[in-house]
A and B are shown apart, each in its own frame.
Chain A
C-alpha cells in the first residue's frame, strides 16, 4: 500500500482563521502547475460549512486541489484543504489521516493538529505560515516546526485583521520570520517558487 510514497515529498503548511480566506485565495493564485511540493491549507470553518474550497478556488490556479479522503497518499503538485469538523493529520507513511476527537481551542479542524503531525511525520516542511485569526490555535504547531529546524513565517500582527493568532504564535516562540505588509505576497511568492 505504500507504493505511492515519494521520498522527495516536501510540504508547505498554511494555517489561518478569521480574515484568512482572502489571503488563502491570493496565495492560491500564486501557485502555478507544476509545483514541486504539496500545499496543505487549514482554515477554521464552521462545523456545517458546506462550501467546498476546491470548487470555490477552481478558477484561481491550475494545480490540482482536493479535500482529501482518509488514507489518501500525499503527493507533490497538489493543494489540499482540511475539511470542516475533522482534524487532518499527516502520517509517517505519507498518507492523510482524519481524527474526529476533541476540538483544539474550539476548532476542528485544528491548525495545531495538522502542524504537529507534520512536524513529527519526518516529511520535510519547506515552509509553514500562520495568518490572521482570533484564536490560540497554531502556536504550538508553529513552535514545534521551528524547533525541528523548519522555516516558519507569521503575519506581522500589526497589520493582521485579527492579530491574536499571530501574536500567540510569537509569544510561544519569538523567532518566527515575520511577514511584513509591504513585502507580504512577494515573500510568499519567493517561498513558493
Chain B
C-alpha cells in the first residue's frame, strides 16, 4: 500500500484531466484514494514518480484511468438478489412482447451473463435484449468475448445454485485454453456498448435497469445526476436495481419509486 493524501489526490485528478480530458472530480474520494494507492503499490512507485510519468501522448495516463475506473465483477453476485428478481420481477415482465434490459457499468460482463442465464431459465431470453454498457473499451472487448477466469467458476457455480439456478452453471460455458467462455447462445441477446454514465445521455427506454455497485464510486452530486439519467431511461413501472448497500437515499427521486425489496434494493418506477 502506498499512502497518498487527499490534497495529493486532487493534484492527480487535475493532472489527469489536463492530459487526457477525463474528469475524476465527480468520483467519491475515499474509494479513489484507495484505488490510486493500490495502483502505486502495484507498480511500486510513489505519487511523484507517477506524476512525472503521465505525459501528454503517453499511454500511462490511459492505463491509470482504466485501473481507477474498472469495477470488479462477478457472476451471480448477491445470489439472493437474483432469486428475488426471478420471483418478484419476472412475473411483471412476462406480459411484455419484447423486453429491454440495461446493465449499466457492466465491466467484464458477468452481471449481463448472469441475467441472460436467469432469463433463459424463465423462458424470457428469446424476447429480451440486454444492453450492457461500460465506459471502458478494454473491458467491453473482454466482455464481448465472454471470457472469464476458470479459477472463479467454483465460486460462481455456488452463487448460481444459491440464486436458484435450475441446471449447472457449466451448461452455459465451455472451457478453452484454460479459460471459461460463455456460450454464444447466451451472448447473442446481449449488446455490449460504450456508454459513460457520467457524461452520456438516455439512449433507449428499458423495462429493467441494473446498476449495481457503480454509483458507490460517485460523489453525491454526480450520483444525483446519474440517478436522473437512469430514471429517464426507465419505462413507467420499470424496475431499477442497485447494489446491496446502495439505496435511493440522497437521490432526490425517492418519491418516484415503489420499494420492491428494501434490503436488496429493487425499486419500481411509479411516477
A: which residues have CB within 8 A of B?
A: 1, 48, 69-71, 83, 85-87, 89-92, 97-102, 112-113, 116-117, 119-122, 140, 144
Determine whether the beta carbon of A69 is less than 8 Å from that of B6.
no
Determine whether the beta carbon of A48 is less than 8 Å from that of B162.
yes
Determine whether the beta carbon of B245 is less than 8 Å from that of A90.
no
Determine whether the beta carbon of B38 is less than 8 Å from that of A92.
no
Determine whether the beta carbon of B245 is less than 8 Å from that of A102.
no
Across the interface, A100 reaches (CB within 8 A) one of B30, B38, B216, B220, namely B216
Q: How far is the CA of A115 from the CA of B160 in the complex (A)?
A: 33
Q: How far is the CA of A183 from the CA of B5 in the complex (A)?
A: 36
Determine whether the beta carbon of A116 is less than 8 Å from that of B246.
no
28 A-B Cβ contacts within 8 A? A1-B250, A70-B246, A71-B220, A71-B249, A71-B250, A83-B245, A86-B244, A89-B30, A89-B34, A90-B30, A91-B29, A92-B6, A97-B31, A98-B216, A98-B243, A98-B245, A100-B71, A100-B213, A100-B216, A100-B243, A101-B34, A101-B38, A102-B38, A102-B72, A112-B1, A117-B34, A120-B5, A122-B6
- Min CB distance, A10 to chain B, in Å? 18
Q: How far is the CA of A120 from the CA of B243 in the complex (A)?
A: 26
Q: How far is the CA of A160 from the CA of B162 in the complex (A)?
A: 35
Q: How far is the CA of A112 from the CA of B1 in the complex (A)?
A: 9
- CB contacts (< 8 Å) of A119 on chain B: these are 3
Question: Which chain B residues in 235-271 approach chain A with CB under 8 Å?
Answer: 243-247, 249-250
How many of chain B's residues touch chain A, expressed as a range? 20 to 34
- Min CB distance, A166 to chain B, in Å? 19
Determine whether the beta carbon of A70 is less than 8 Å from that of B216.
yes
Q: How far is the CA of A150 from the CA of B243 in the complex (A)?
A: 34
- CB contacts (< 8 Å) of B64 on chain A: these are none
Given A48-B79, A69-B249, A97-B216, 12 new contacts (CB under 8 A): A70-B245, A70-B247, A83-B245, A91-B28, A92-B29, A97-B31, A99-B30, A99-B217, A101-B35, A113-B34, A116-B37, A140-B1
Q: Do A89 and B246 form a contact, CB below 8 Å, given A99-B216, A100-B71, A116-B1?
A: no
Q: How far is the CA of A140 from the CA of B37 in the complex (A)?
A: 12
- CB contacts (< 8 Å) of B247 on chain A: these are 69-70
Q: Do A69 and B31 form a contact, CB below 8 Å, given A102-B38, A120-B3?
A: no
- Min CB distance, B31 to chain A, in Å? 4
- Min CB distance, A42 to chain B, in Å? 14
Closest to B213 in A: A100
B33 within 8 A of A: yes
- Min CB distance, B103 to chain A, in Å? 15
- Min CB distance, B131 to chain A, in Å? 22
Closest to B214 in A: A100
- CB contacts (< 8 Å) of B213 on chain A: these are 100
